[in-house]
Amino acid sequence: MAHLDPDGAGGGAPDPGVLHKVRSLLAKAESTTYPDEAEALSAKAQQLMDRHAIDRAMLGEGSRAGPEGRTLLVEPPYARPKFQLLTELARANRCRAVLDTDRNVATVIGFPDDQATVELLYTSLLVQGTRAMLQAGTSSRTRSRAFRQAFLVAYASRIGQRLRQAAAATVSEAVRDHGEELLPVLRSREVAVEDELASAFPHLRRMRVTASDPAGYAAGHAAADRARLGGQEVRGRVRRLRR
């Protein structure tokens, strides 16, 4: 299976000009003191990346290489809820994610434009979610493993719902511009990703992630509603692995 190098270079990588615009939007989102403005800037960044990927797919750009695999380290503690967040992001952006539970290494399979969006969002939303989890309270209950596990499970689930709604809106807008012929193009890319997944990982098992603390689940759901979906610039980055 092909693997993108740690700098994200390779066939079909996102346009540098678009990435510059996205990073500028994210930097403004981080620096503003107005939450509504930050939300709008972050959402615009996500929309720009998603629409860029759809437009390139319609034009046939970046499709020669096909879907590829990018590996990321899902660091403990709470590796499984963190991977659930990555899975939600991958599905919302036409990718799939697989976790090696022995090494806590995830592989995101998809086209490079979509993978770039997944990584930008995962970096930001994981930082936002972890910060919110740690700020949820100082009592022994809110510091318990059960509370924090439930918090992150709910956070990932709700983020997935929000992203699917945003992705559907972006596709609808693109269909208005490109016409109905866009839908078979996107579907063919989904099929290509599924085929690559089956080829690279023929013996997959479904992973179960549990949550047993109702208060933690409710707090995580609320934190996801407050999260900035475009991803703000954060200090640090997700660790990619070389093969």
**CA 205 → CA 77, 109, 113, 145, distances in Å?**
22, 16, 27, 25
Q: What is the mean pLDDT of residues 79-91?
A: 95
pLDDT over 90 at 45, yes or no: no
Q: What is the mean pLDDT of residues 107-134?
A: 87
Residue 150: which pLDDT band, with cuts at 50, 70 and 90?
A: very high
pLDDT over 80 at 13, yes or no: no
Q: What is the pLDDT of residue 241?
A: 53
Q: What does the domain layout of the chain look like in residue ranges?
A: 16-226
Q: At what angle do helices 16-31 and 112-134 cross, to 10 degrees?
A: 10
pLDDT over 70 at 9, yes or no: no
pLDDT over 60 at 161, yes or no: yes
pLDDT tens digits for 171-198? 899 999 888 888 998 999 999 999 999 9
- In 3D, which of 68, 159, 81, 56 has the Cα closest to residue 115? 68
Q: What is the pLDDT of residue 149?
A: 93
Q: What is the pLDDT of residue 178?
A: 85
- Residue 3 forms beta bridges with which residues? 69
Q: What is the pLDDT of residue 2?
A: 29
Task: Return the percentage of the chain with pLDDT > 70, whole number.
Answer: 77
Window from 135-149, 204-218, 228-242 with minimum mean pLDDT: 228-242
Q: What are phi and psi of 72, to 5 degrees?
A: -135, 145
Q: Residue 11: is it exposed, middle or buried by C-beta count within 10 angstroms (0-12/13-18/19+)?
A: middle
